[in-house]
Structure 1
Amino acid sequence: MIFDPNNPIIKLCMSGMGLEDSGNSEDAITMFQKAWDEATDYYERFIASYHLARLQKSITEKLKWMKTSLQCALKINDDNVKSAYPTLYLNIAKCYEELGDSENAKRNYELSNSAKGKPSDKGPFYHGTKADLKVGDLLTAGGISNYKPELKMDHIYFTANVNVAGLAATLAKGEGRERIYIVEPTGEFENDPNVTDKKFPGNLTRSYRSKDPLRIIGEVTEWAKLTHKERREWREEIDKNKGEIIN
């Protein structure tokens, strides 16, 4: 299951989150409802219902939509979507707790904890950049952030989603051409906290980071590159966030 930021339902949800950030919650709910109404599969319904759940004022409605999101996620049975299980169970547990149902709250807290763990993603993994590198080279931590020039990165970042790597290549500093390298982690890695449980539940973009080097084992030569309009929108998003890492 591949997270695609250009998927129409995901784009609707991102628009809804933009409205939410500007304080327009009612229009945000309308946008999330539109995403739900237009969703065509369990993956899209899982995402749309999660965002609908977040903005419900009624705890019973919040619980209903969060359970709907979980049911859709369970039907997908995808390792990528499983990263959202802890968050979904946790939110359901909190709803039951507010409703005074301690038994169901306890059960869902336990399910949330049991669903946690280190990433089990087997790749293949990718790293997007504008650097001219070759097979066998090592990518190491300590580089400068693409989003904050004054920030030195303590980790090296990578993803199992080639489209996300393509976005990173587009936003990378430098004058070279966009490159996506196939990489192999040489040590342990963890979910990227900049995206995990931020805009979307879990780690749907399959984004990771490691303090250990990544070894380049190949290069991707063809991928779905952003249009000029999409590039402009992402640049505007970066400017709007004043250099913050895009979630």
Structure 2
Amino acid sequence: MVRIGQAIMLHRGGDREEARNRFAALWTETDVDADLFHRCTIAHYMADTQDDPADELAWDLRALAAADALDQDRVSWGEHQLAVRSLYPSLYLNLAADHVKLGDEEAARQELERARAKLDALPADAYGEGIRAAIERLEKRIADGAASPGGAVDGSSGGTDQLP
């Protein structure tokens, strides 16, 4: 987790390429069956380092698949149980944002519905409020035409908000 945290800090500091390289190395080092929590975390953040929206979607789907494998009791959740449950709204939110970037409004709306269905797992803290607010913002962007061809995801030409 320390190395994952270091890669996250690199990304948040603006070094997407180095963060992407470190996440890729961590991804290859993790065991597909034994390190599901780590794989979920790596893929979740690796998605944010992608330049191509289709690649971002692919990584977000990997994160969801790892979370689902944990949720299906194929492994022991251990101390990660609450963390994974509270990650679902963010995973679905990120998938919705990916679909907006790709111009698929219907898929984005479906993912936002899935995110809303998991909101009860969020803590009543800044993280939980941030996810709730991000869902509201993305719903508004979709209503304002963000998923239409040429529509900007954040209403400007500068990219998207950093989603949790």
Q: TM-score range with shorter-chain normalisation?
A: 0.5 to 0.7
Separation in 1, partners of 2:128, 2:50: 22
Do 1:87 and 1:197's aligned partners in 2 also have CA atoms closer than 8 Å? no
Q: Counterpart of 2:5 in structure 1: which amino acid?
A: M
Give 3-state SS (helix, strand or coil) of 1:35's partner.
Answer: helix
Residue 56 of structure 1, aligned match among 50, 56, 69? 50
Separation in 2, partners of 1:24, 1:197: 27
Residue 15 of structure 2, aligned match among 13, 24, 27? 24
- State the partner residue of 1:97: 100
TM norm structure 1: 0.44
Q: Counterpart of 2:4 in structure 1: which amino acid?
A: C
Could you tell me how far 1:196 is from its partner in structure 2? 5.6
- C-alpha deviations, 1:135-162, integer Å up to 9, x for none? xxxxxxxxxxxxxxxxxxxxxxxxxxxx
Q: Give aligned pairs, total.
A: 119
Q: How does 1:58-137 map to 2 (within 5 A)?
A: 58-77=52-71, 78=77, 79-80=81-82, 81-117=84-120
- State the partner residue of 1:35: 26
- C-alpha deviations, 1:5-31, integer Å up to 9, x for none? xxxxx1111111232243322111111
Do 2:86 and 2:121's aligned partners in 1 also have CA atoms closer than 8 Å? no
Do 2:23 and 2:46's aligned partners in 1 also have CA atoms closer than 8 Å? yes
Give 3-state SS (helix, strand or coil) of 1:83's partner.
Answer: helix
- 5+ residue gaps, structure 1: 1-9, 120-189, 202-247
Could you tell me how far 1:197 is from its partner in structure 2? 9.0
Q: Counterpart of 2:93 in structure 1: which amino acid?
A: L
Separation in 2, partners of 1:56, 1:13: 16
Separation in 2, partners of 1:19, 1:94: 22
Which 4+ residue blocks in structure 1 deviate beyond 6 angstroms?
none
* Distance change >3 Å, CA 27–CA 72, structure 1 → 2: same
Q: Hey, which of these two has a bigger chunk of helix by percent?
A: 2
- 5+ residue gaps, structure 2: 72-76, 132-164
- C-alpha deviations, 1:180-224, integer Å up to 9, x for none? xxxxxxxxxx4442x6699xx9xxxxxxxxxxxxxxxxxxxxxxx
Q: Counterpart of 1:100 in structure 2: which amino acid?
A: G
Give 3-state SS (helix, strand or coil) of 2:119's partner.
Answer: coil
Q: Hey, which of these two has a bigger chunk of strand by percent?
A: 1
* Distance change >3 Å, CA 118–CA 14, structure 1 → 2: closer
Q: Counterpart of 1:57 in structure 2: which amino acid?
A: D
Do 2:96 and 2:109's aligned partners in 1 also have CA atoms closer than 8 Å? yes
